[in-house]
């Protein structure tokens, strides 16, 4: 929604596709779409990307020049309990996106990968030069698969693709299954918040406006080969195909308890804390090296957690009338 708004405000025609599933509150999804329908250049199709024929029809009708693919099934923990959903949406659905880009001459595909691909890696900060061969959730495995599939299509059909490894995105209109939303909801209801691994986790929390700025700049600068065809690849992020992968994170890893403290300040409420063990599929720490992205688009995220959390808290109170 945020990316679409930014593009609409600069005069682009934007076509939105969503299956509006009930993974979380559908009314929140509908409210986002209503925000976009205020723009006459926005067109919406209630379509599931896993339905090949329906997706083909949208591409045939709309003929997009660029595709921004953020339509995957999200959530690390949900992938452990509902694995088939992820294969259907994140693998089958992504294949359909790639095929449509191929057959309808799309100029550039930008898609969401995830910091989850780093899985069991211990070396910090995470860099695109590192191998990502040890995913610890099916969600992470599907995201790495997406990068491999994108490379294949870039190589075979010369389709420019740019993958963005998001690092813990948060902000207004965010997902209700994410920690900040859950914490805010519980605290305003005077209920305890669940804190996993007893709070001993660190995340590279990245504010939504920074994500969108990076996305749009990447859309505007099409992927190109990074090495000559006759050279050996020096690292996993290089290719002789028009294929790029970038980290996009705040580069300021924040202890979870500091994140919670920022929310306590924003809401002026002291949280009741319920400390729990580590959850399956979670990692202890994420930290993004964004030097490659900064060099490519002359931008890197910079919104502080204190500022970003306050903006979310203000939005939440306004949207839900609390």
Domains defined for the chain, CATH in brackets: 2-175+204-253 (3.40.50.720)
Tokens of 260: 């919670």
* pLDDT, tens digit, 9 for 90 and up, residues 97-111: 999 999 999 999 999
Strands 254-255 and 14-18: unpaired
* pLDDT, tens digit, 9 for 90 and up, residues 289-298: 999 999 999 9
Model confidence at 318: pLDDT above 90 = yes
pLDDT of residue 75: 85
pLDDT of residue 282: 85
| Selection from 60, 68, 73, 98 nearest residue 5 by Cα | 68
Using alpha carbons, list the distances in angstroms from residue 227 to 107, 234, 242, 244, 275: 21, 9, 10, 11, 48
Instruction: Tell me the average pLDDT across 56-72.
Output: 97
* pLDDT, tens digit, 9 for 90 and up, residues 139-166: 999 999 999 999 999 999 999 999 999 9
Model confidence at 78: pLDDT above 90 = no
pLDDT of residue 237: 83
* pLDDT, tens digit, 9 for 90 and up, residues 9-24: 999 999 999 999 999 9
Model confidence at 73: pLDDT above 80 = yes
The DSSP annotation for 164-229 comes to: EEE-SEE-TT--TTSHHHHHHHHHHTT-PEEEGGGG--EE--EEHHHHHHHHHHHHHS----SS-T
pTM: 0.96
Out of 120-124, 173-177, 235-239, 272-276, which region has the weakest mean confidence (pLDDT)?
A: 235-239
pLDDT of residue 18: 97
Q: What is the mean pLDDT of the chain?
A: 96
- The answer, yes or no, to whether the previous bond of 253 is cis (omega within 30 of 0) is no
Q: Note whether 262 and 178 are within 8 A (CB).
A: no
Instruction: Tell me the average pLDDT across 228-239.
Output: 78
Using alpha carbons, list the distances in angstroms from residue 312 to 9, 113, 186, 253: 22, 23, 15, 19
pLDDT of residue 229: 67
Model confidence at 39: pLDDT above 80 = yes
Tokens of 13: 């025609």
* pLDDT, tens digit, 9 for 90 and up, residues 190-232: 999 999 999 999 999 999 999 999 999 999 999 999 888 677 7
Q: pLDDT class for 120, splitting at 50, 70, 90?
A: confident
Active-site annotation holder among 78, 118, 139, 153:
139
pLDDT of residue 222: 97
Task: Judge whether 139 counts as a catalytic residue.
Answer: yes
d(CA 167, CA 150) in angstroms, rounded, equals 20
What is the longest distance spanned by two Cα atoms in the chain? 63
CB atoms inside a 10 Å sphere around CB 63: 11
């Amino acid at each position: 929604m945020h990316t679409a708004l930014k593009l609409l405000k600069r005069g682009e025609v934007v076509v939105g596709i969503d299956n509006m599933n009930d993974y979380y509150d559908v009314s929140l999804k509908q409210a986002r779409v209503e925000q976009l329908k205020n723009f006459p250049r926005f067109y919406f199709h209630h379509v599931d990307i896993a339905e090949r024929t329906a997706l083909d029809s949208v591409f045939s009708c709309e003929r997009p020049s660029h595709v921004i693919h953020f339509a995957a099934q999200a959530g690390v923990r949900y992938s452990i309990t509902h694995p088939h959903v992820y294969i259907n949406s994140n693998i089958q659905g992504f294949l359909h996106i790639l095929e449509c880009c191929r057959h309808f001459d799309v100029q550039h595909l930008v898609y969401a990968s995830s910091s989850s691909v780093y899985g069991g890696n211990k070396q910090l900060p995470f860099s695109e030069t590192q191998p990502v061969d040890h995913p610890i959730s099916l969600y992470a495995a599907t995201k790495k698969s997406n990068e491999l599939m994108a490379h294949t299509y870039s190589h075979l059909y010369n389709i420019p693709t740019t993958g963005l490894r998001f690092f813990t995105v948060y902000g207004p209109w965010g997902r209700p299954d994410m920690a900040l939303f859950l914490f805010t909801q519980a605290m305003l209801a005077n209920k305890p918040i669940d804190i996993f691994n007893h709070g001993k986790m660190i995340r590279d929390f990245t504010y939504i406006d920074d994500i969108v700025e990076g996305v749009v700049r990447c859309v505007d600068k099409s992927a190109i080969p990074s090495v000559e065809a006759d050279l050996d690849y020096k690292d996993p992020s290089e290719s002789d195909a028009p294929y790029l992968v970038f980290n996009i994170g705040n580069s300021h890893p924040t202890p979870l308890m500091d994140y919670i403290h920022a929310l306590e300040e924003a809401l002026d409420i002291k949280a009741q804390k319920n400390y729990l063990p580590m959850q399956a599929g979670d990692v202890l720490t994420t930290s993004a090296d964004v030097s490659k992205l900064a060099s490519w688009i002359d931008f890197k995220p910079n919104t502080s957690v204190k500022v970003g959390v306050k903006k979310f808290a203000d939005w939440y109170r306004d949207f839900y009338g609390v």
